[in-house]
Amino acid sequence: RVVCNAKVPRLSDQKAWLDGIDIFIFDCDGVIWRGDSVIDGVPAVLDKLRAAGKRCFFVTNNSTKSRAGYKGKFDSLGLDVPAEEIFSSSFSAAAYLEQTKFKETGKKVYIIGEKGISEELDLIGVPWFGAEQDKDKVVNLGSGGKVEHDPDVGAVVVGFDRNVNYYKIQYAQLCINENPGCKFIATNLDKVTHLTDAQEWAGNGSMVGAIKGCTGQEPIVVGKPSPLMIEYLEEKYKIPDRKRICMVGDRLDTDILFGRDNGLQTCLTLSGVTKEDKLLSDDNKIAPDSYVSSIVDFFP
């Protein structure tokens, strides 16, 4: 669905706007923190929203930490957020496997990714291998060289992996192509990622792209903009009305698309990757309902 970029307004009449929202879904990097620093004024905004009776959830496409890992990050930034309000794409991958009753198949998961994914799979009792275990493996490309793969792998989960290598790609390719019914699950498709302030780094789109390229398969995406997380929240918390939820994010093609395509209100914040001129340019086809400099503007 393409929406032409009507002029996106800056958020105004905050009181009326807040009255129309019961639940906020916050993206994390670029909204709550930038790298390892909390964004100025954010703790007070979260306190005020809670004091006004608003429910807050936190959704990140970064799969490198588990929900428990993010709880530690929130704590270290002085933000008191219960683990159940945090939804990382690593958690979403596990939630998807649970929803589809993967455990009952008795199969295993091969992971390209970091410990966020393996920790979440441990919590739901799904056997896995790969990930950091395969970081130093190399493919023997000499004559007769062959990678033997496990026919009991029923899903490959691909998340951001700073130790991705040719062995892992070959292993994933064999599982997906040769094990009947093997699922190809991507935590997220972010093209670039905000590892440091110095530059944009190749995101999980690069790892997923490698596996798409060698299998010809499209992944099941569990992170934003996939509807999985909103469906999960809706079901778990019996949320009656999506129109009273606002998705707040800094990225158009994940956060705002997620909100827009799932019938939520949307607000873009300029405190992360999207600059005002890009948001307002005629080339932008993903328009939020409104935008702010940072979420501090919720309470002018």
User: Judged by CB under 6 A, does residue 118 bind ligand PLP?
Assistant: no
Q: Which residues touch 247 (CB under 8 Å, ≥6 apart)?
A: 25, 27, 255, 256, 258, 259, 262, 264, 265, 266, 267
Question: What is the rounded CA–CA span in Å between residue 215 and residue 282?
Answer: 36
Q: Which of 66, 193, 226, 294 binds ligand PLP (CB under 6 A)?
A: 193
Q: Which of 11, 23, 25, 30 binds Ca ion (CB under 5 A)?
A: 30
Question: What is the rounded CA–CA span in Å between residue 263 and residue 242?
Answer: 6
**Contacts within 8 Å (CB) and 24+ apart, 139-148:** 139/166, 139/167, 139/170, 147/171, 147/174
Q: Which of 11, 23, 29, 297 binds ligand PLP (CB under 6 A)?
A: 29
Q: Which residues touch 138 (CB under 8 Å, ≥6 apart)?
A: 165, 166, 167
- The answer to whether the CB of 289 falls within 8 A of the CB of 266 is yes
Active site residues: 22
Among positions 60-89, residues that touch ligand PLP (CB under 6 A) are 60-62, 64
Contact of residue 64 among Ca ion, ligand PLP, none (CB under 5-8 Å per partner type):
ligand PLP
Question: What is the rounded CA–CA span in Å between residue 221 and residue 85?
Answer: 21
User: Judged by CB under 5 A, does residue 190 bind Ca ion?
Assistant: no
**End-to-end Cα separation, the chain, in angstroms:** 34
CB of 199 to ligand PLP, least distance (A): 12
Give how many residues touch ligand PLP by CB under 6 A: 15
Nearer to ligand PLP, 74 or 160 (CB): 160
Contact of residue 194 among ligand PLP, Ca ion, none (CB under 5-8 Å per partner type):
ligand PLP
CB of 15 to ligand PLP, least distance (A): 28
User: Judged by CB under 5 A, does residue 27 bind Ca ion?
Assistant: yes
Contact segment (CB under 6 A) with ligand PLP among 39-47, 123-131, 190-198, 259-267 equals 190-198
Q: Which residues bind Ca ion (CB under 5 A)?
A: 27, 29-30, 250-251
